[in-house]
Structure 1
């Protein structure tokens, strides 16, 4: 299965989540940037409000595309040392955290301004991204929203590796995934168009919702 783009993936995911349409208190949270176009389609189809939860991957020093963990809004930090081929000195980890924390704060200001995150208590949350490779950022997202005491946390993605689904499934209440390929290398390989989502598009979709 290939998705044309993130909007196409969002419509496919919305179909898999159709049972949640009309659920009182339903809230769709997109993980910027790539998860927001997907989440926008889901929120529109389910007639639910859309918001963002800013999460940043912690890339392995010298191999940035490989996640050793993630941070999320609210001071949440998740570090999975089992994924590291060798121990990373604490000073190097902290350097990565500081850099990503600065970018997280920038995005918070840009996407949210002075607007606080919508209340999470007793709500059903759909955490949406464009795909899961390691699951590190989504685990951090689940940890971040769990503190808000929601009724249920549902992780929803168009595509994911089996390992990521297992990892995220251990912390979320439910995981919905349209497509779990047997041979998974990267999220982008399952999209015809996987161009980078811009800050401008994220802001436009949030304003539209």
Structure 2
């Protein structure tokens, strides 16, 4: 195990991101597991914290096997794992059915977590995308593409752990990757942590409440 829990991972990750403390940064965490990590990073950098909603598109009858991923956007960003789709003989109608289910779950989570809260401004800022680890990279790839579409000045992926070869593939999506450990334990993210319990919806909303949305710039008084 590399980390005690997600908060420990976030504090250690924040130290590796210290150079961004003087920059105009926004931290975008992938819920639910990425939120405790992202909260530690945002607090250390004095940055706003927001969510990047993304869902794995699990194969029918093989839910843990990703045939793709979808991240929220206008339109949503869909990443397809064509090798998995071909291997399992998934037809387009089946793919679309699972996709629609995951889009509905993202809508539910947005209502549960954000309840009308305005999204943080990303354009022109350094966007740091944070999760508790990367396994196959499908959801991370979708998240990075969705954030890129929001025109950040620089796009950084920051995670406690990810396989070196997965990081290499993701370098085409991010301008920079900060990762503390470059291999998984027993092929998964969970075994890299002493405590990898599931994060609840309530914990996500409580973490976000510590980082109220940035107030819009004050209007410049008109000269008289």
Q: Does TM, scored on the shorter chain, surpass 0.5? A: yes
- Which residue in 1 is equivalent to 2:201? 199
C-alpha change, 1:3 and 1:183, in structure 2 (3 Å) is closer
CA contact (8 A) 2:185 2:191 kept: no
Q: SS state of the match for residue 206, structure 2? A: helix
TM-score (norm 2): 0.89
What runs of 5+ residues in structure 2 fail to find an aligned partner? 212-224
Q: CA deviation at 1:128?
A: 0.1
Matches within 5 A, 1:12-161: 12-23=12-23, 25-74=24-73, 75-84=76-85, 85-161=87-163
In 1: Cα distance, 2:154 partner to 2:98 partner = 32
Q: CA deviation at 1:69?
A: 1.3
In 2: Cα distance, 1:116 partner to 1:181 partner = 36
- Which of the residues 180, 183, 194 maps onto 2:182? 180
Q: SS state of the match for residue 177, structure 1? A: strand
Q: CA deviation at 1:187?
A: 0.6
C-alpha change, 1:48 and 1:182, in structure 2 (3 Å) is closer
Q: SS state of the match for residue 36, structure 2? A: helix
Between 166-175 and 197-206, report the one with greater CA deviation. Answer: 166-175
Q: SS state of the match for residue 118, structure 1? A: coil
In 2: Cα distance, 1:170 partner to 1:80 partner = 16
Q: Superposition RMSD on alpha carbons, in Å?
A: 1.4
- Which residue in 1 is equivalent to 2:220? none
Q: CA deviation at 1:12?
A: 1.1
Largest Rg, 1 or 2 = 2
In 2: Cα distance, 1:184 partner to 1:45 partner = 31
**Total equivalences in the alignment:** 208
Q: SS state of the match for residue 70, structure 1? A: strand
Q: SS state of the match for residue 155, structure 1? A: strand
Q: CA deviation at 1:183?
A: 6.1
In 2: Cα distance, 1:9 partner to 1:194 partner = 11
In 2: Cα distance, 1:137 partner to 1:65 partner = 13
In 2: Cα distance, 1:42 partner to 1:208 partner = 13
What whole-Å deviation, never above 9, does each CA across 1:142-172 have from its counterpart, x for those lacking one? 1111111110100000001223212221111
CA contact (8 A) 2:162 2:184 kept: no
- Which residue in 1 is equivalent to 2:215? none
In 2: Cα distance, 1:166 partner to 1:184 partner = 20
